[in-house]
Amino acid sequence: MLQLVTVAHLVVWIALLALAGQFVLGLLAGAARDRNFVYKLLELIASPFVKLVRKLAPRAVLDRHVPLATFALLSVALVLLTMARVGLCLQGGVNLCA
């Protein structure tokens, strides 16, 4: 169970960092971000999560707000997964999590 939570934690971290990097790079690159290779790579990494949130979100949510909603949901998921991971480590002993 700990391994499953750890893998999910890592996947959420990667998606969260990709969204954050995409945001920062979008601010730095401005309108040229669509031609930036790194921006496109970060967009590719985060796109499955953004598409999932787009499907789950009501139509009232604008498309430009979906990445922000994705970031918020992934942040909550990261906190919950961290709490689960700490709980499993305390349950199984600290040497299990080393």
Domain boundaries, the chain: 2-96
d(CA 67, CA 62): 10
pLDDT digits (tens, 9 = 90+) for 6-23: 999 999 999 999 999 999
Q: Is the pTM of this model over 0.85?
A: yes
pLDDT digits (tens, 9 = 90+) for 29-87: 888 888 999 999 999 999 999 999 999 999 888 988 999 999 999 999 999 999 999 99
Residue 29 confidence (pLDDT): 87
What is the helix, strand, coil percentage profile of the chain, to 5?
90, 0, 10
Residue 34 confidence (pLDDT): 87
Would you say residue 94 has pLDDT above 90?
Answer: no
Residue 81 confidence (pLDDT): 97
